[in-house]
Amino acid sequence: MKRTTIRRPAVRPAIAIAAAGALAVAAPIAAQAKPFDTPPNPVFCSGGIAAPHSYVQADDNNLPPELIAYVINERGGPGAMVSWLNLSQLETGNLLFGTEDLEPTELDEDFVRPITLVETGAGTVVSAMYGLYENARGELCLLLPGVTTDQVPSAPAAQTAP
């Protein structure tokens, strides 16, 4: 049986740039973006939060394989927690939801929104989002757990010369 490991967020600049390009606000929502199956339920804040989405590699974006990007589509602060379990590889991890500067758009020159990039490995991944989160109105919300499931594609097999 495999050991359970905690994976760290993807910190390579190339991945962050790829995710920012794939998730640009000015572009239409990518076909592989999907809202959480059961979104987190915000309490103690009147403004609520925008629906969180998860993104995996697809033909219409430039995310690397074996990675999930979690996004809350609003200007918000850091906070909340993302926990995931790869059912295919029996690996798990937790990390604090953060913010990433995205490329300037027509909507806002200094747009920042909460995003988390996680190297989960390929397979079926169940994820939960929960905890304290500051929404776009500056209210502190308690997020009761929301859950989603993604099929994360694997990297293509390396081709060898004949």
Assign residue 50 the CATH number of its domain: 2.60.40
Residue 158: inside a domain: no
What tens digit of pLDDT does each residue of 99-147 get? 555 444 444 444 456 678 889 999 999 999 999 998 889 899 999 999 9
Estimate to the nearest angstrom the gap between the alpha carbon of 96 and the chain centroid.
Answer: 11
**What's the whole-model pTM score?**
0.73
Task: Decide: 145 and 128 in contact? Cβ < 8 Å.
Answer: yes
- What's the structural domain count of the chain? 1
Q: Domain limits at 50? A: 34-152
What tens digit of pLDDT does each residue of 10-30 get? 444 444 444 444 444 323 344
